[in-house]
Amino acid sequence: IKVVEELFSAARAEFKHLEYYYFHNCLYEGVWRDNARRWNAQTPTWEVLNTYGPDYKCIFVGDASMSPYEIAYPGG
Q: What is the pLDDT of residues 1-58, one digit of tens each?
A: 788 888 878 877 888 888 889 888 778 899 998 888 888 999 999 999 999 899 998 8
62 or 36: which leads in pLDDT: 36
Q: Please tell me the predicted confidence (pLDDT) of residue 76.
A: 63
The residues pairing with 22 across neighbouring beta strands, listed in sequence order, are 32
Torsion region of 27: left, alpha or beta (phi above 0 gives left; psi -120 to 50 gives alpha): beta
pTM value surpassing 0.85: no
Burial category of 25 from C-beta neighbours within 10 Å (exposed 0-12, middle 13-18, buried 19 and up): middle
Q: Please tell me the predicted confidence (pLDDT) of residue 3.
A: 83
